[in-house]
Structure 1
Amino acid sequence: MWPFSVFAQQRAAPVVGFLGPGLEARRHWLAAFRAGLGSQGFVDGQNVRLEYRSADGGAEGLRELAADLARREAAVIAASGPSAALAARRVTPSIPIVFLSGLDPVQIGLVSSFNRPDGNITGFYFPVDELPAKRLALLHELLPVAKRIAVLVNSAEAATAEPTVRGVLVAGQSLSLDVEVFRASTSTEIDAAFDALSRWRADALLVGSDPLFITSRAQLVALSARHAFPAIYFQRDYVEDGGLMSYGPDYADSYRQAGIYVGRILKGTKPTELPVQQSTKLELLINLKTAKALAIEVPPSLLARADEAIE
């Protein structure tokens, strides 16, 4: 009877769905999510069952996966990225949803208010529109003699590409830099973009924030090293994998907080009782080993502001 009892307990455990593109490349963020969930007393495989759904094929694929989680009667759906959040919202008006979004959730129609989210959805917003300009300024501070700055964006994702292009072009003009935008929406196009960067004789590279570039992280870091392009990225993973520098939100902290929200909902708190939170925690990382390989001397003033310097 004991194995049957354990099986019955597992069957009774609530299902938490986690939906988003490129989840395989976000393993440590998911670990942070599980840690947040665990802080509320919920452990995957014991008293809750996590089911992951990842789609890189666009909005339609995410909607199908969200519908599958709804059919499985998930108790809560965590949605990573605005596309996943919108897909889940369209599929179910009743299952609680906790989102993580780099786009303003009011502007894209996820919620009508930060303080009192309506319906079945709440979550976390990390504003990224103003960050491309700040990344360019940091790149300029690191490489004051660099004048030709390439910007790589995903041509298929206007929602993330356009704010990056706008911010960098305006900032580039104020810094008297020659900024050129390159676009790629597939792994093959990324290779082609780096060939074009080389022909243009770029002095440095700014990689725009995009889910495609998360899943292509190893490719981007390897190509930057092969072409000897000093590059700044939008999250720490690139620097940990050998990229030169990154500046962006502390995504792991937001995922941990999302896990806490999911745990509170499982305990009975309604999404309308949990305000949408805006992340203000940003981190600057510099890989000193990569800087040395590129013969770059990091200014002491910049090094002093870094949250972490990887030797």
Structure 2
Amino acid sequence: MKRRKFIGLLGGAAASWPLAARAQQTRMPAIGFLRSSSSAPSQFLATALREGLKEQGFVEGQNVQIEYRYAEDEKERLRNLATDLLARPLAVIVADTIAAIQIKAAATTVPLIFASGGDPVAAGLVTSLNRPGGNVTGVVFFATLLGAKRLELLRRAVPNAAMIGVLTSRTSPNVEAERGDIEAAALALGQQLTVVDVNGEDEFDTAFVTFIRSGARALLIGSGTLLTTNRARIIALAARHALPAVYPHREGALDGGMMSYGASVADAYRQAGIYAGRILKGEKAADLPVMRSSKFEFVLNLRTTKALGIDIPPTLLALTDEVIE
């Protein structure tokens, strides 16, 4: 009886060995997706990432896993989430600029892909765009480098705005460069500005009170994760105070802002997904040059201009890439 029991146990164990081996062999690679912001406003970026992965043959839940983490604009939470992801067996991590800086400080082996609106060299993420080196590469969509162009477009749309408000985020690593670019352009044009830097979403209401008291007749919205993920609230505040505004991303105009000028942040995350797929296939981050957005879109929301009582000059309308009616 004991001999039969032993043989049965041995046979059961032997039968389980191939299953365990097959489970290890078919374990899907995992990607970390870390955003310094909140979850809800970032879902279109997660979708874009998955689209890029799919172009490389990777489908979430079928042959790749994605670990999503959102820091809700809290520094301590971001540090904890970065530590958690780095402790996991991840094949690659995709992050926004703030999160990428946090990850890079601790990561030495896990490939890191950033999606940045600023200068990744100045931010210390890579040493060169063409030869990033190390284990970091990514995509740049130049959100912080187009402030002067946005100011020009806004002045053409609202030529009687003697004072223009500028909303920037102190949490953005590129805030000084962006603000300097806008202020230099304003000085050259003789344009007066009221610049307000915010550190959190609880400061938005006060910022708009400052704009109104200064006599601002139009508003330029800066870049950065804090402002991007709170886009809906900023658009609502601009509408409440009847301030025509220009936004750094297409989604700003699509969601009800007056206009936007910049590269597509969603497409940047799609390209990040493509790079993630290439790394999963065996390429090294150091060998992948930082991709740069080459297409910039000027989007105008005519519904908003009509609500604000603004007549857009035909010469400006002719420059648009997309008009929302």
Structure 1 length normalisation: TM-score? 0.92
Report whether the alignment pairs 1:80 with 2:96. Answer: yes
Whole-angstrom distance in 2 between the partners of 1:90 and 1:48 = 26
- Cα distance, 1:57 vs. partner? 4.0
Structure 1 residue aligned with 2:79, among 63, 79, 98?
63
What root-mean-square deviation, in Å, do the aligned CA atoms of Structure 1 and Structure 2 show?
Answer: 2.1
Whole-angstrom distance in 2 between the partners of 1:259 and 1:243 = 28
Contact 2:133 2:287 in 1 (8 A): no
After superposition, residues 1-311 of structure 1 pair within 5 angstroms as 8=23, 12-22=27-37, 23-81=39-97, 83-154=98-169, 156-157=170-171, 159-311=173-325
1:54 alignment partner AA:
Y
1:70 alignment partner AA:
L
- Cα distance, 1:127 vs. partner? 2.7
- Cα distance, 1:29 vs. partner? 2.0
- Cα distance, 1:164 vs. partner? 2.7
Percentage identity across paired residues of the two chains: 46
Contact 1:59 1:84 in 2 (8 A): no
1:246 alignment partner AA:
S
Describe the superposition over 1:253-285 as per-residue Cα deviations: whole angstroms up to 9, x where unpaired. 211111111001111111122111222221111
Q: Describe the SS at the equivalent of 1:84.
A: helix
Whole-angstrom distance in 2 between the partners of 1:130 and 1:106 = 13
Unaligned segments of structure 1, at least 5 residues: none
- Cα distance, 1:188 vs. partner? 2.6
Whole-angstrom distance in 1 between the partners of 2:172 and 2:258 = 26
- Cα distance, 1:70 vs. partner? 1.8
CA 1:120–1:32: 2 relative to 1, 3 Å: same
Whole-angstrom distance in 2 between the partners of 1:38 and 1:158 = 30
- Cα distance, 1:24 vs. partner? 2.7
Q: Describe the SS at the equivalent of 2:318.
A: helix
CA 1:183–1:122: 2 relative to 1, 3 Å: closer
- Cα distance, 1:91 vs. partner? 2.0
2:179 alignment partner AA:
V
Number of equivalent positions: 306
Whole-angstrom distance in 2 between the partners of 1:192 and 1:10 = 56
Contact 1:59 1:87 in 2 (8 A): no
Whole-angstrom distance in 2 between the partners of 1:55 and 1:258 = 20
Contact 1:18 1:80 in 2 (8 A): no
2:111 alignment partner AA:
P
Whole-angstrom distance in 1 between the partners of 2:198 and 2:125 = 28
Contact 1:63 1:91 in 2 (8 A): no
Structure 2 length normalisation: TM-score? 0.88
Whole-angstrom distance in 1 between the partners of 2:66 and 2:93 = 10
Contact 1:10 1:47 in 2 (8 A): no
- Cα distance, 1:288 vs. partner? 0.3
Q: Describe the SS at the equivalent of 2:130.
A: coil
Whole-angstrom distance in 2 between the partners of 1:67 and 1:186 = 23
1:293 alignment partner AA:
A
- Cα distance, 1:62 vs. partner? 2.5
Contact 2:248 2:262 in 1 (8 A): yes
Q: Describe the SS at the equivalent of 1:242.
A: coil
Contact 2:253 2:299 in 1 (8 A): yes
